[in-house]
Structure 1
Amino acid sequence: MQPADTPIEEGLKLCIKTDQVPVDKGRYQRLVGRLVYLSHTRSDLTYALSIVIQFMHNPGEQHMNAVTRILKYLKHAPGKGIIFTKNTDYQNVNAYTDADWAGAMDDRRSTSGYFTFVGGNLVTWKSKKRNVVACSSAEAEFKGMALGICEALWL
């Protein structure tokens, strides 16, 4: 198995196709479940897992290929993970947000997310597929910023 530099291909859009080649559903679910457990300490896998987890009910060959790429990435980057440094500057809170307008191929819904740092250490992160279709990229970005700001204010 050749190692990969990133957990998911850039610009990869997965969807459910009627003519997809089916794969072993139980194996797919076990692999993704184990990767979700691992993602608690490996935040670099979070986005890729949020993509492949959407197809747990009906995985196809392209979905299994995406999971295999995550495994290849893990083989290439075994020492990566969350690193906490000693820091006494707890007043410094930074939040970063992003959104993908109409990025889901099946239902055209947007995905927004954020991550926050306290004193230079990553403490929270979240990615959420919106419940409704955004009318514009500005609306998708605004909703993502609102989530990130709420989290930063809470911290």
Structure 2
Amino acid sequence: MKDLGPLKHFLGIEVARSSTGLFLCQRKYTLDIISEAGLLGAKPSSFPIEMNHRLAHATGPPLPDAAAYRRLVGRLIYLAVTRPDLAYSVHVLSQFMQAPLQEHWDAALRVVRYLKGSSSQGLLLRADSELSLQGWCDSDWAACPLTRRSLTGWIGFLGNSPLSWKTKKQHTVSRSSTEAEYRSMAAITCELKWLKGLLLSLGVHHPKAIHLFCDNQSAPYLAKNSEFHERTKHIEVDCNFARDAILDGLIAPTYVSTKDQLISLLKL
């Protein structure tokens, strides 16, 4: 084994050290994506994907080179390792890998044009961050126009530094927005428990309850209330995982207004 010195570059991720902390970005990898797509001279886009898009209902001609679409989306998936702002776009585009249409390809190129205007964006892991965890979660009820399954988004922080995030379609159809929010709470609770165990293995103890921010007032109440009435009996048992974590003092649900919800970053 050799000591190669301080880490500067690893699997396409560039690492810059300063007194502020570690800055992780994939600038060269991003420029390679833009170059391969032939958009180095294109006008940058201010946002990665259109609001209220109808990509699931696209009926245009099939893409002649489906492999090019799969290759581009695959590279965007890896780029999302340091780009939380791409989480929603990648989630949407990856649903059409099997049979992409021309409209899907155009949407993927829009993401590339967005990257052109933000190629140096990345993650800052601050040196002065407190060693305390916090989580943010949100859901978009019945977001999928085909299956009507809700969309879950969550992000976990260590102090002011983002550690993990995800945007994913829920496995089952939720019959209310409260149920959808409750399922997103269960998802982030699993991640926070894992992060707490990881910190413990590194010698960092986290005795306080982890703050979990949600912009739905009914879901935290439902999680804290041990008695379910008829309208909530249909919620699966595994969702009680969040309530057990609250009773154990692991997490502390906190209401946050929608305009201050950080998860909006993952659901542009």
The alignment's TM-score, normalised by the length of structure 1, stands at 0.91
CA distance 1:80–1:11, shift in 2 (3 Å): same
Q: Which runs of 5+ in 1 are unaligned?
A: none
TM-superposed CA distance for 1:88, in Å, is 5.0
1:32 maps onto 2:73 in alignment: yes
Residues 14 and 105 in structure 1, CA contact (< 8 A), matched pair in contact too: no
Aligned to 1:22: 62
Kindly report which structure 2 residues correspond to 1:1-155, keeping only aligned pairs within 5 A, or say none: 1-17=42-58, 19-23=59-63, 24-91=65-132, 93-154=133-194, 155=196
How far residue 151 of structure 1 moved from its aligned partner, in angstroms, is 2.2
1:137 corresponds to which letter in structure 2? S
State whether residues 46 and 117 of structure 2, in contact with CA within 8 Å, keep that contact through their aligned partners in structure 1. yes
What is the RMSD of the two structures over their aligned residues, measured on CA atoms?
A: 1.5
Residue deviations 1:78-98 (CA, integer Å, cap 9, x gap)? 11111111025102x221111
Asked which structure has the greater RCO (Cα within 8 Å, sep 6+), the reply is 1
**CA deviations over 1:108-148 (Å, ceiling 9, x no partner):** 11111210100210001122211211111111111112212
Name the SS of the counterpart of 1:22 in structure 2. Answer: coil
Moved more, 52-61 or 19-28: 19-28
- Aligned-residue offset at 1:150: 3.0
Q: Distance in 1 between matches of 2:114 and 2:180?
A: 29
* Matches of 1:67 and 1:34, distance apart in 2: 11
SS of corresponding position for 2:126: coil
What is the alpha-carbon distance in structure 1 between the residues aligned to residue 181 and residue 56 of structure 2?
A: 23
How far does the alpha carbon of each residue in 1:37-90 deviate from its partner, in whole angstroms, 9 at most, with x for none?
A: 111122221111001001000111221111011100000111111111102510
What percentage of residue pairs aligned between the two structures are identical?
37
Deviation, structure 1 residue 16:
4.7
Length-normalised TM-score, structure 2: 0.54
Moved segments of 4+, more than 4 Å: none
Bigger CA radius of gyration: 2
Partners of 1:16 and 1:88 in 2: how far apart? 44
